[in-house]
């Protein structure tokens, strides 16, 4: 039967489900303190706490203990899972996987080519050995016999030599052709494995390699992580094709504005920049200028010319320390990016 009591139970059941979903999303156990915080957020969506939670969790972030306590909540020790600083990284794309496989296949072909060349070397040594044995046999014959037999043996050796030379020339020409083809194929595969399929920009693999090779060049170096603000809203409102075009446009702008530095698409809506020969203060100032250029663009839908709305970037940038690994430097820049997001987005945070 229906009625006010049934409706009330339905509302309570829905509220309980929302609170449970919130606790699960934030990695919080159903402790009374956690439940109370979640209840305040769910039951007052227009309140300051709920709005702060929406801002802090936009883009897939999970609240940290410091976030919850800053908003007046209480985290029970042992009652929550440690929150990740950032969402999981985007795995390599199928195109990158295919390129890596192509590199492996090409390397196997190179190994086969090396085997062919070793076989040719073995045959050449065999030919030299036969020639030496024939010459020794001629020397052991009498002068009269040597004249006739020697001429016949020389003719046989010469014919064999010419035949082997022709065979070696054919095989060498074939091997040279294959080597050139393999070289071109390997260069293409290596480039593909280090390039993002959507934007055509260098990818995370290229970034990691460039970071590892930085010791060959004089410093200083800075590392920046850039993320498009509220990118999910663009995909949800206009579809992934429009989102892809925005990614490509932002990536191209970053590349143009950071000419001389390495700009890569690191995954999802995230870009990374390795700035060489510039200190942290200048790097932050330069990147703030790039942020302003992108914020000032007026993106429109190609199909209808309808304004897409402002697209902004949040950026975290840090100075790379001597001997520091890419993981350590990137994680520090990533945390600074998170701070830029938490402080309101569309800004650069440097440290």
Beta strands in the chain (DSSP E): 221-228, 262-267, 270-276, 313-319, 348-350
Listed in sequence order, the residues at least 6 apart from 303 whose beta carbon sits closer than 8 Å to its beta carbon are none
The one catalytic residue among 269, 270, 306, 324? 269
Residues 243, 346: one domain? yes
pLDDT tens figures, 14-23: 777 788 788 8
Does 110 fall in a domain? yes
Q: 132 is in which domain, residue-wise?
A: 94-193
The DSSP 8-state label assigned to residue 225 in this structure reads E
Does 344 fall in a domain? yes
Residues 56, 123: one domain? no
Q: Would you state the structure tokens that stand for residue 259, as one six-digit string?
A: 């000419």
- State pTM to two decimals: 0.56
Does 88 fall in a domain? no
pLDDT for 229 equals 96
pLDDT for 110 equals 66
Does 220 fall in a domain? yes
Using CA atoms of 195, 200, 204, 206 in order, give the dihedral in degrees to the nearest 10. 50
* 269 catalytically annotated: yes
Give the separation between CA 274 and CA 278, rounded to whole angstroms. Answer: 10
Residues 221, 106: one domain? no
| Helix locations, 201-300, DSSP H | 204-212, 231-238, 240-257, 280-296
pLDDT for 16 equals 74
Q: 3-state class of 266 per DSSP?
A: strand
Residues 221, 306: one domain? yes
Residues 257, 284: one domain? yes
Q: Low-confidence residues of the chain, pLDDT below 50? A: 1-2, 4-9, 12, 79-90
Give the separation between CA 15 and CA 19, rounded to whole angstroms. Answer: 6
């Amino acid at each position: 039967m229906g009625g006010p009591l049934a409706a009330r139970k339905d509302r309570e059941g829905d509220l309980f489900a929302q609170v449970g979903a919130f606790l699960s999303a934030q990695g919080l156990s159903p402790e009374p303190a956690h439940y109370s915080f979640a209840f305040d957020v769910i039951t007052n969506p227009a309140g300051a706490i709920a709005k702060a939670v929406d801002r802090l969790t936009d883009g897939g972030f999970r609240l940290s203990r410091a976030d919850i306590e800053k908003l007046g909540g209480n985290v029970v020790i042992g009652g929550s899972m440690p929150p990740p600083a950032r969402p999981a990284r985007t795995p390599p794309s199928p195109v990158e996987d295919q390129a890596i496989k192509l590199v492996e296949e090409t390397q196997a072909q190179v190994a086969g080519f090396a085997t062919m060349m070793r076989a040719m070397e073995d045959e050449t040594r065999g030919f030299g050995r036969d020639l030496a044995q024939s010459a020794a046999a001629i020397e052991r014959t009498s002068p009269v016999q040597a004249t006739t037999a020697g001429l016949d043996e020389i003719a046989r050796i010469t014919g064999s030599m010419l035949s082997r030379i022709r065979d070696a020339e054919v095989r060498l020409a074939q091997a040279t052709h294959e080597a050139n083809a393999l070289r071109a194929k390997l260069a293409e595969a290596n480039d593909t494995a280090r390039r993002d399929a959507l934007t055509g920009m260098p990818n995370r693999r290229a970034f990691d390699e460039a970071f590892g090779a930085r010791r060959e060049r004089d410093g200083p170096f800075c590392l920046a992580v850039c993320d498009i603000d509220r990118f999910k809203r663009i995909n949800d409102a206009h579809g992934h094709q429009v989102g892809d075009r925005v990614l490509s446009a932002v990536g191209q702008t970053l590349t143009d504005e950071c000419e001389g530095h390495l700009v890569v698409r690191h995954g999802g809506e995230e870009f990374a920049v390795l700035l060489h020969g510039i200190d942290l203060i200048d790097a932050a100032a330069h990147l703030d200028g790039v942020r302003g250029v992108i914020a000032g663009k007026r993106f429109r839908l190609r199909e209808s010319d309808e304004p897409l709305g402002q697209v902004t970037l949040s950026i975290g940038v840090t100075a790379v320390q001597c001997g520091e690994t890419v993981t350590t430097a990137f994680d520090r820049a990533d945390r600074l990016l998170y701070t830029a997001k938490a402080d309101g987005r569309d800004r650069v945070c440097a440290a």
